[in-house]
Chains A and B, each alone.
Chain A
């Protein structure tokens, strides 16, 4: 079975540029999560969706960050304009809705470097 697919795997861009990260969740999963991982702050939940609807975006650091899920098989996380402090590994994860306590399945992440 295909897992969570993220693209690109690596992104290097200059400060001020727009960055778009993409995620394809596992088919049949109703929940999609975006995380950011840094050495200083660990793994932080940015936003999550249920059935394509954003449920909790309290972890989004500021207005420069936005996320969308136009359909069940695709989500984007956009940073505009990007800043050096946004450099991190960004993970997408998905899970099913068969009751509570479901494990999350992670992609291999996008390593983002803002110069």
Chain B
């Protein structure tokens, strides 16, 4: 089964609103990454958070990690229509720094 599971599966918001996506995983990790995928394109890396970090920011993105709950969240503030995409979390296992397991993704629609 997949390591990471995103919630919700789909999210529709108005431009300017904030979007929050959650990811849960099952086993111990050494890092968690978030990726974006636009329709018909490959995945693009957004942000990486290590297991000893609790929060990280990058522009309008804020990621939190709670290893005790085995969960992470991605917050996109002041959303734009261009943020419309699928968002995936990916976990790096403790026994493999280079192998990532991807969740099923959240489809975000930002309405203009």
Residues on A facing B (Cβ under 8 Å): 4, 31, 35, 42-43, 45, 48, 50, 55-56, 91, 93, 95, 97, 100-109
Contacts and interface: CB of A to CB of B under 8 A. Distances in A.
24 contacts: A4-B42, A35-B102, A42-B102, A42-B103, A43-B88, A43-B102, A50-B98, A56-B99, A97-B98, A100-B31, A100-B97, A101-B30, A101-B31, A101-B50, A101-B92, A102-B97, A102-B98, A104-B43, A105-B45, A106-B35, A106-B43, A108-B40, A108-B42, A109-B41
Interface residues of B, number: 25
B100 interface: yes
Interface in B40-88: 40-45, 48, 50, 88
A103 B33 contact: yes
Max chain A CB contacts within 10 Å: which of B42, B96, B97, B104?
A: B42
B101 interface: yes
A104 B48 CA distance: 11
Given A91-B43, A106-B42, A106-B43, A100 B92 contact: yes
Nearest to B88: A43
Nearest to B32: A101
Contacts of B48: 101, 103
Main secondary structure of the interface of B (DSSP, over half): strand
B14 interface: no
Contacts, number: 56
Interface of B: 2, 30-31, 33, 35, 40-45, 48, 50, 88, 92, 96-105
Contact of B41 (A48, A93, A95, A108): A108
B64 to A, nearest CB: 17
Max chain A CB contacts within 10 Å: which of B41, B45, B88, B100?
A: B100
